[in-house]
Amino acid sequence: MMRSRLRVAVVFGGQSGEHEVSLLSARSVMQALDKTKYSVLPVGISTCGRWLTAGDPWQRLSDGEDSDCDTAVNTGSGALVPGWEAEHFPAVDLVFPVLHGPMGEDGTVQGLFELAGLPYVGSGVLGSAAGMDKLVMKDIFAAHGLPVVPHVGLLRSRWQAEPEACLDEIEARLTYPIFVKPANLGSSVGITKAYDRTDLASGLNLAASYDRRLLAEQGVDAREIECAVLGNDTPRASVCGEVVSNREFYDYRAKYIDNQSRLFIPAEIPTATSERIRSLAVQAFMALDCAGLARVDFLLDRASGEVYLLEVNTMPGFTSISMYPKLWEASGLPYSKLLDQLIELALERAEERHQARQHPVLQ
Ligand SMILES: Nc1ncnc2c1ncn2[C@@H]1O[C@H](COP(=O)(O)OP(=O)(O)O)[C@@H](O)[C@H]1O
Ligand SMILES: [Mg+2]
């Protein structure tokens, strides 16, 4: 008897600033999933947070359905997920969340799948949340002895209460240029490169409009090297790639609007450097308890050759021309085979969870 196809829900869109990027990533994923192995069920999350399953959810979101909202959806219906078109929601074997940024890549949606008992691709609640939070992430790296650039973390409430003291503290510990970031965002949203105290103050105000936790980070004149990691308990690292931006830094405009950033794969760096980066990438993945996939980003100091961990992205851009799939392609793993592996890893992780004892054995 022919084994029936695995039913895979691909979830895309979402409430973060990376909604459109997610649509592009998901379109590539849905096109490349091997239809002899999987039946694909598209699930779209609107920018207002409604879950769309009827008709062609990808087209509905592309047409801008339910994108006109000032506040988060609260239907008051008691539904677990707002607007869930439950009558259309099919039974699935596995979920492939192709969501970037907050409310997608940060453990929230992963928690929902845990509660629903559904296997899903990618990191769990902890790894996703840790990978989304730049302050927690850096603390974990530092605790593991992994190299990060110096930073100062602060709460928005403290910044608002005593701005001069905050500026003094940052200036005492870091030198310009200083990068100012909200702790929990992606796509360079809310990030400023500050050259003086005035910039620093306006950067902190901007970051504070996005998050209640902020960081100021030592700027480094660096090349940006990225490495793809794939696996669960014994992850492997791809070749390294380099991103060269045409702007002052790799900001939102460079990433998504100008489209003039260039990827060099493999990165032209000394072998010893690339081996160090690949090893650090796996260590970073393990330190955050990631699963499935992550793209680990580095700063390579132009002057000293030092390597610093910049951040981990647990659901990196996933179009067929994005860095993560490209890195695997260059490492001998084509796009649709990469998807097969991610699905196998998700099933393996779900099986492991299943094996774990739920209750204490009293003796
Ligand atoms: N400490 C730093 N030194 C030099 N450039 C930085 C630094 N921090 C961030 N950048 C630049 O800003 C970009 C976005 O920062 P990043 O921390 O990766 O945030 P995001 O999660 O939004 O991608 C980086 O790709 C890099 O170009
Ligand atoms: Mg980044």
Model pTM?
Answer: 0.93
252 vs 80 pLDDT, higher one: 252
Span 290-305, average pLDDT: 98
Provide the mean pLDDT of the chain: 91
Q: Whose CA is nearest to atom 21 of ligand 1?
A: 186
Q: Is the CB of 180 under 6 A from ligand 1?
A: no
Cβ–Cβ < 8 Å for 360, 268: no
Range in 1-10, 199-208, 276-285, 291-300 the model is least confident about: 1-10
Nearest ligand to the C-alpha atom of residue 219? 1
Quote the CA–CA distance of 318 and 160 in Å, as a whole number.
Answer: 38
Q: Whose CA is nearest to atom 25 of ligand 1?
A: 250
Confidence of residue 60 (pLDDT cuts 50, 70, 90): very high
What is the predicted pLDDT for the residue at 3?
62
Count of C-beta atoms within a 10 Å radius of residue 54: 11
Percent of the chain surpassing pLDDT 70: 92
For the CA atoms of 238, 122, 125, 6, the dihedral, rounded to the nearest 10 degrees, stands at -160
Output b/e per residue, 290-326; b: 16+ Cβ within 10 A.
bbbbbbbbbbbeeeeeebbbbbbbbbbbbbbebbbbb
Domains and CATH numbers, the chain: 6-104 (3.40.50.20), 150-218 (3.30.1490.20), 221-351 (3.30.470.20)
Confidence of residue 1 (pLDDT cuts 50, 70, 90): very low
Span 241-247, average pLDDT: 90
Give distance in angstroms: CA of 233 to centre of ligand 1.
Answer: 28
Range in 56-70, 94-108, 193-207 the model is least confident about: 56-70
* 158, amino acid identity: R
| Strand intervals (E) in the chain | 6-13, 38-45, 51-52, 94-97, 151-155, 178-182, 192-194, 213-218, 222-231, 236-244, 262-264, 292-301, 307-313
Confidence of residue 276 (pLDDT cuts 50, 70, 90): very high
Percent of the chain surpassing pLDDT 90: 77
Least Cα distance to 346 among 33, 52, 31 occurs for: 33
Q: How distant is the alpha carbon of residue 342 from its chain centre?
A: 15
Cβ–Cβ < 8 Å for 22, 13: yes
Q: Which is it for strands 178-182 and 213-218: parallel, antiparallel or unpaired?
A: antiparallel
C-alpha angle 33-316-49 in degrees, rounded to nearest 5: 85
Which atom, in ligand 1's list, is nearest to the CA of 190?
A: 22
**Tens digits of residue pLDDT in 304-331:** 999 999 999 999 999 988 999 999 999 9
Q: Whose CA is nearest to atom 6 of ligand 1?
A: 219
